[in-house]
Amino acid sequence: MENHKESQGSGPLKGLRVVELGMLFAGPLIATNLADLGAEIIKIEHPKGDVVRGLGQGDNSLWWSVVARNKKLVGVDVKKPEGADIVRRLLATADVFIENFRPGRVKEWGLDYDTLRKVNPGLVMLHVSGYGQTGPYSERPGVGTLAEAFSGYAHVTGEPDGPPTLPSFPLADGVAALTGTYAVLAALWARDRNGGIGDEIDISLYEPLLSMTGPMLINFTKGGVVSNREGNRARWSTPRNTYKTKDNRWIAVSSAADSPAMRLFQAIGREDLTTNPAWATNRERLKRVDECDNMIAAWMLLHTQAEIMERLNEFDVLAAPVNDIEGILKDPHVQQRGSVVSIPDPVLGDTVVQEVVPRFRNAPGKINWLGRHEVGTDTLEFMVEAGFSADEIQKLHRSGIVKVS
C-alpha cells in the first residue's frame, strides 16, 4: 500500500482545492497544471482504474505517471447514486470542479453547476468537451485527434504533396488544458472580487487550437486565401525551413526579419546577397523561395550539425538543432537549466520527467510524486473528511462503488 500522507508542498496555488472528474487528457491536464503549482487535486477515478492506466507498454503506464502526478486519488463509481453523493460532498469544500464528459452527462448524476452552486456558491466549474456545451455537434464524441482535424490544424500541417498530418502527442488536449488553466485562474480572480460567486466555464477541444492558427482565418475572409500545407516553409517568411546536415541530422532556421537573414547569408559565405536589393527584404526573398532554400540546403549538407550550430551561433543566426528526445536530455542548456527532473517512485524507481513550468521565484511549483499506482489511494482520507463512518465506507467498498486502498 502506498503512503497517502505526503504533503502537497508549496506553490502559488497552495490552499486551492480542485476536484477532477474525467478521463484521458484535456481535463486531467488542467488539473495537472494546477497541481504542479501547489493546488490540492482530488482525482475521481472509477474503482477499476482510469483508462490512462492501460495506455502504453508494460504493466505500469508511464503516461499515467506523468498526467496523474501530484494528485490524490479517490476511487468512486460516479454513475451510481451513492458514488455521485460522495463527489457532491467533496465538491461542497472545493474551489474548482473540472469535468470532461460529454455535455449533459454530469447533470444525469446530479453534478451540474446549477445543482452544485446551491451548496457551494463559490465553486468554479469547468467543462471540457470535443465541440463545446452548445451547438449541433455538442453531443458528438470528441477527442484531441478529431479537434486537430476539425480546427484546420491538420489541413495546413505536412508536405504540400502529402496527406494532412496529425501530431504524435495530444496537442489539442494540451492547448485546451493551457486555455482551461488560465480560465480557472481568471474565474477565481473574479470570484474574489464579486462577493465570492463562482462561475461556469465551457471549453471545446477545437476552439483553443483554432485560435492559435494566426492569420489563417483573416487571410481567407479578407484576402480569399485558403491556407494549405507548405511543409516547413511559411507563406510569410523566408528563409524558414528545416535543412539536412552532413551527418543526417537537421537544423531549423527562421529569419522573417531582414537583419537575421543577412547574418545567415554571411554565415554561409554569401556576403554578396547582403548588398543585393533582390534579397534585402522578406517581401523580395519570398519571390525566390526555392533559390533561397536550395542555396542554404546545399551549404548545410557540407557540414555536420555541430559544425553548423557553432558557425551559425557565431553570427547570431536564428537557428536551432532539431532534437530527438535523446538530444534534449544530453543538451547542456537543458541540463543546466533543469528542464527535466528525476523523481523517485516506489515502483519505477528514479524517473526523469519534464520539470514544472512556468517558474516562480518566491513560490515555485514542484512535482512531489508521480501518478500513484494503486487506485483509491486517498479514498479513505476524503470519505472520513466528508463524514462517512467506517461501516459506511466498508459497505461501499464491498459493493464496488468505492475503492479503498
**CB neighbours of residue 206 within 10 Å:** 24
Q: What strands, in cross-sheet order, belong to the sheet with 319-321?
A: 240-244, 250-254, 319-321
Write out the three cell numbers for 147. 479537434
Determine the 3-state secondary structure of 143 from DSSP: coil
C-beta separation of 21 from 106 below 8 A: yes
Are 366 and 392 contacting, i.e. CB atoms less than 8 angstroms apart?
A: no
Q: Mind giving me the DSSP string for 22-91?
A: --SSHHHHHHHHHHHTT-EEEEEE-TT--GGGGSSSSSS-HHHHHHTTTEEEEEE-TTSHHHHHHHHHHH
- DSSP reduced 3-state for 13: coil
Instruction: Write out the three cell numbers for 28.
Output: 486531467
Strands 240-244, 250-254: parallel, antiparallel or unpaired by DSSP?
antiparallel
Give 46's contacts (C-beta < 8 A, 6+ positions apart).
75, 76, 77, 78
Catalytic positions, written as ranges: 173
Residue type, 239: P
Determine the straight-line distance between the first and last CA of the chain, rounded to whole angstroms: 7
CB-CB contact of 267 with 315 (8 Å): yes
Kindly report the number of other CB atoms within 10 A of residue 322's CB atom: 15
Spatial distance between the Cα atoms of 194 and 212, rounded to a whole number of angstroms: 31
66, 96, 70: which is closest to 182 by C-alpha?
96
DSSP-derived secondary structure letter, 365? -
Q: Which residue has the cell 537557428?
A: 319
Strands 240-244 and 71-76, how do they pair? Answer: unpaired
**The cell 536589393 sits on which residue?**
277
